[in-house]
């Protein structure tokens, strides 16, 4: 359980409701009430959606869904191109609202952020509602919020009463809330891990609480430590307004599948050039690069990633052997998407002290 000797933090997680789509509807009121999505490519149907509005979700359309599949589910879906410059502008406007309440702001993306308002004497739930009302008044967009004593629970809470709602998890309610919380709500638990947990009779955080650290680490490795911690509400990570990036990547879906590796090879220089430009941006805070990786999505939508430790200055050179490795896994399947990326060094000292203690106690 949470260490009661420590004062509780007041963490707010703000999540803008279907942000990109909401901005587009604001810019074009004629889109209200119609199913729309942002991203993808409505002409060749090979792209992937960034997001969609709630009207589209009624048809089963979801973020990261291939455009062709979204159009099958919703033939009247309006697919709009991405306008990141506009979204960044609106995101900055929202961030300026956050700054009226706290300096401790940790953006996770253009449409969500953590705020630490522990220094405020008012209830965090009142502050969250005030922020949401201000965002609506000044931008015309709605946001949802989660309020809790930790980032983990605040993020879960912000998704509870979407859209345009909020949920507060009081410290006194945390234990009961966690007992019934589905394991799928824990970050790092995807479909594969969830199935492994289900096969062991674990459905909720309450079920995880019945397991020892040793059992969880034996079954799930380092993830077992996180499962043990989070199922008990242990999350002492601070809201970090200078959080370094852990990775940098770019990817592209092509109009036609590449049936031969030579076609993929020809794309590496341009993809790396785009990656290098992002890497050289002055406002990008990164540690020393550690690994490079390449991602391929095949014609059947299966995906593979190959990576290696970087032993020389960053260049396009190490991506070519990685491409060969990833290509060989395709077994003659065409490639529809190629992505390049860099993972940055994470020093042992950056692990929270509570997590360090758990490592050392095993």
Write out the catalytic residue numbers: 112
Q: Cα–Cα distance between 191 and 198 in angstroms, integer?
A: 10
Structure tokens at 26: 């604001």
Residues in the chain: 362
- 331 CB neighbour count, 10 Å cutoff: 7
Are 173 and 125 in contact by the 8 Å Cβ rule? The answer is: no
Cα–Cα distances (Å) from 351 to 234, 236, 237, 283, in that order, read 14, 11, 9, 24
Structure tokens at 303: 């995906």
Q: Which residues of 37-73 are buried (b: 16+ CB within 10 A; e: fewer)?
A: bbbbbbeeebbbbbbbbebbbebebebebbbebbbee
Are 61 and 77 in contact by the 8 Å Cβ rule? The answer is: yes
Q: Cα–Cα distance between 203 and 201 in angstroms, integer?
A: 6
Angle between helices 319-328 and 268-279 (to 10 degrees): 130
Q: Which residues of 228-251 are buried (b: 16+ CB within 10 A; e: fewer)?
A: bbbbbbbbbeebeeeeeeeebbeb
Structure tokens at 104: 């401790």
- CA end-to-end distance (rounded Å), the chain: 19
């Amino acid at each position: 359980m949470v260490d009661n000797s420590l004062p509780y933090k007041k963490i707010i997680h703000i999540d803008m409701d279907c942000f990109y789509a909401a901005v587009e509807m604001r810019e074009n009121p004629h889109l209200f009430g119609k199913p729309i999505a942002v991203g993808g490519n409505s002409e060749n149907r090979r792209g992937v959606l960034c997001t969609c509005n709630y009207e589209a979700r009624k048809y089963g359309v979801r973020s990261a869904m291939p455009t062709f599949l979204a159009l099958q589910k919703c033939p009247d879906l309006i697919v709009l191109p991405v306008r990141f410059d506009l979204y960044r502008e609106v995101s900055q406007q929202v961030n300026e609202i956050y700054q009226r309440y706290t300096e401790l702001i940790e953006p996770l993306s253009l449409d969500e952020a953590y705020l630490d308002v522990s220094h405020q004497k008012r209830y965090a739930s009142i502050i969250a509602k005030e922020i949401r009302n201000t965002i609506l008044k000044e931008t015309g967009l709605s946001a949802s919020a989660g309020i809790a004593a930790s980032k983990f629970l605040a993020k879960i809470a912000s998704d509870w009463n979407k859209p345009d709602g909020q949920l507060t998890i009081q410290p006194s309610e945390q234990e009961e809330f966690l007992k019934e919380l589905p394991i799928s709500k824990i970050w790092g638990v995807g479909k594969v891990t969830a199935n492994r947990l289900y096969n062991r009779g674990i459905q909720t955080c309450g079920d995880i609480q019945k397991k020892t650290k040793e059992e969880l680490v034996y079954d799930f490795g380092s993830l077992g430590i996180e499962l043990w911690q989070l199922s008990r509400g242990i999350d002492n990570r601070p809201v970090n307004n200078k959080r370094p990036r852990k990775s940098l990547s770019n990817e592209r879906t092509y109009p036609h599948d590449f049936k031969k590796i030579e076609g993929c090879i020809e794309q590496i220089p341009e993809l790396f050039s785009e990656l290098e430009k992002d890497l050289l941006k002055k406002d990008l805070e990164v540690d020393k690069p550690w690994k490079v990786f390449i991602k391929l999505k095949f014609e059947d939508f299966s995906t593979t990633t190959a990576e290696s430790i970087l032993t020389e200055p960053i260049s396009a050179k190490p991506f070519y052997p990685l491409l060969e490795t990833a290509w060989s896994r395709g077994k003659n399947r065409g490639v529809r998407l190629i992505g390049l990326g860099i993972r940055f060094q994470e020093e042992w000292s950056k692990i929270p002290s509570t997590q360090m203690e758990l490592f050392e106690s095993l």
